[in-house]
Structure 1
Amino acid sequence: MRYSWALGPRWSTHYQHGWIMTGLMAEITATPVAKGTLALWFLGQNGWMIKSPAGKVLAVDPYLSNSCHPSRRGLDLDRRVPILVTPEALEADLLLCTHSHKDHADPATLCACARGGRVKAFAGPGDTQAVFAAAGVAESQRGLTWPNHEIFLEDLKVTGTFALPTDAGDLTHMGFVIQVDGGPSLWITGDTAWCDLLAEAGARHQPDAICLPINGGYANLSHWDAAELVRRVAPAQAIPCHWDMFADNSCPPHLFEASLKVKEVRGVYRLPEHGRKMVIEPR
């Protein structure tokens, strides 16, 4: 069953099986961010746009095409979320990919971003580097990163975090903790299977907010695993993702909320709305 949306004035132009949101990139560019906070926009799957008080913009895992469809295995991977920013229009100081799977390091999106020239730099772990190169990203714009590696961008520090790979095709999965000077930290875990080390490594960063997958498909965190990670790491906000894009790799997000309740983790659940600004504050 497909989701339906009440389409407001920002929605226009049919694109394959979805819609393009006009004006979101302009909104992100124009949005001021209060000191001591981060602004966050959900693009679907594990796609995020993040803006700092100094105006620095990060894109994480933007999947802005329908390139996973059709599936070679016969799965329903036709996108169910509108394309919120065209990849040619995407503007970012840094585009981060957590791993090389197509819904995270999407060749179609990356090719268009490389051609568009609005993304200043690209970074990701080992297996993403070949994807960047094949997409036409100049060598001078490509950066290799890994768990515990730090990237500094004016008022932002991006620290790589451990993730347990979900298949043998890419063993360089990772996540990112994004810390703003004098403000909150946001942990985007990326795709990861459960293990105790994930919780131990994540808790070291004491993130104020976590964005984490809940779908449970193909070795990813289930809604129950995700709730346990939140319980152990104890952020002020827990934001589910990776539940919305594909019919055959989805999970109703209320099950994550229910799992948090069963584990007696109260007051942290926050459901993101596609293309709507969220404000991340210190706990």
Structure 2
Amino acid sequence: MVDSDWGDWLPRAVADADPETVALWYLGCNGFAVKGSEGTVLWIDPYVGTGDPPRTIRMVPIPFDPADVDSADAVLATHEHTDHVHGPSQAPILANTDADFVAADDSLAVAREEERWTDEYEVDEAAFTEVREGDELRIGEFTVHVVETHDADATHPVGYVLEHESGTVFHAGDSKPSDSFTGLAERFDIDLGILAFGSEGTIPDKETGEPVPTKWYSDENEIATAANDLGLDRLVPTHWDMWKGLTADPTALHDHVRSYESPNRLEIAEIGDRIDL
């Protein structure tokens, strides 16, 4: 069981909300809860683990216990890393709500084979929905497009474009600038884009424990390039708050994006904040 720092107010806020358009709650790391005006709720990359100290050390609160989540139509994973596919964070949501777990093959392999969600949690195999780039799903009031991204540290990353009558949201996972982004800008009018951002630091090597230079997320120039290529109206940087040694100051992005045509607005969310389209 996850010990939440904040009790159950965040899952209750999502369940009780009645947004006029689409509301998003930032969960820290790269996680979001998304709720549409008709009540459809999507959770994208929710993670309430503490990392693997001393290598990866969580720097933000654990905002909810997944056992308290009773409003969910789907949980979407962008790639197979533990802070994006994590049984203790996500399987209880599936068990409580009968939501589907939407992910690419390598992410599903973690859930099926490495963490054995069907054995360790009350998750049915039917909950697993495998997707790949180019797929389109209808989940409640959202049309979900599975798109190509670029994350060299992942084995099969994908992004999700969420189309709603109120606007369009793009969650890029941990992607850096991608050749696919200009094409997405031509295909979709993206109102709000979620892009990972962080610094380069020294993190203990997974095998030796020795500190090594590490860069997992876009730096200031890369995220500005990605946001411009995507033609974003609003940019929400994520992941900058999470890991000790790789945190960054998102307010610095004002100077990096101001000369580009896009984004029109830099929107900085702290863990627990709500954003509306």
Instruction: With the length of structure 2 as denominator, give the TM-score of the two structures.
Output: 0.84
Counterpart for residue 23 of structure 1: 9
Counterpart for residue 183 of structure 1: 166
C-alpha change, 1:275 and 1:119, in structure 2 (3 Å) is farther
What is the identity, as a one-letter code, of the residue corresponding to 1:33?
P
Counterpart for residue 145 of structure 2: 159
Q: Among 50, 53, 59, which residue is 1:70 paired with?
A: 53
C-alpha change, 1:194 and 1:231, in structure 2 (3 Å) is closer
Counterpart for residue 58 of structure 1: 42
Counterpart for residue 175 of structure 2: 192
Q: Does 1:229 align with 2:226?
A: yes
What is the identity, as a one-letter code, of the residue corresponding to 2:88?
A
What is the identity, as a one-letter code, of the residue corresponding to 1:110?
Q
Counterpart CA distance in 2 for 1:177 and 1:162 is 10
Counterpart for residue 46 of structure 1: 30
Deviating beyond 6 angstroms after TM superposition, the runs of 4 or more aligned structure 1 residues are none
Q: Does 1:239 align with 2:225?
A: no
What is the identity, as a one-letter code, of the residue corresponding to 1:194?
P
Counterpart CA distance in 2 for 1:101 and 1:160 is 18
SS of the equivalent of 1:249 reads coil
Counterpart for residue 3 of structure 1: none
Counterpart CA distance in 1 for 2:163 and 2:263 is 24
Counterpart CA distance in 2 for 1:102 and 1:256 is 27
Counterpart CA distance in 1 for 2:269 and 2:98 is 24
Quote how far apart the aligned CAs of 1:215 are. 1.4
Counterpart CA distance in 1 for 2:79 and 2:222 is 20
Quote how far apart the aligned CAs of 1:110 are. 2.7
Counterpart for residue 135 of structure 2: 149
Structure 1 unaligned residues grouped into runs of 5+: 1-13
C-alpha change, 1:266 and 1:195, in structure 2 (3 Å) is closer
Q: Among 126, 129, 136, which residue is 2:108 paired with?
A: 129
Greater shift, 226-235 or 24-33, is seen at 226-235
What is the identity, as a one-letter code, of the residue corresponding to 2:93?
C
Counterpart CA distance in 2 for 1:188 and 1:206 is 14
Cα offsets for 1:199-228 (capped at 9, x unmatched)? 333542221110111115534322211111
C-alpha change, 1:59 and 1:175, in structure 2 (3 Å) is same
Counterpart for residue 188 of structure 2: 205
Counterpart CA distance in 2 for 1:164 and 1:119 is 31
SS of the equivalent of 1:187 reads strand
Counterpart for residue 251 of structure 2: 254
Counterpart CA distance in 2 for 1:21 and 1:252 is 27
Counterpart CA distance in 1 for 2:17 and 2:271 is 17
Structure 2 unaligned residues grouped into runs of 5+: 201-214
Give the length in aligned residue pairs.
Answer: 254
Instruction: With the length of structure 1 as denominator, give the TM-score of the two structures.
Output: 0.83
Q: Does 1:268 align with 2:254?
A: no
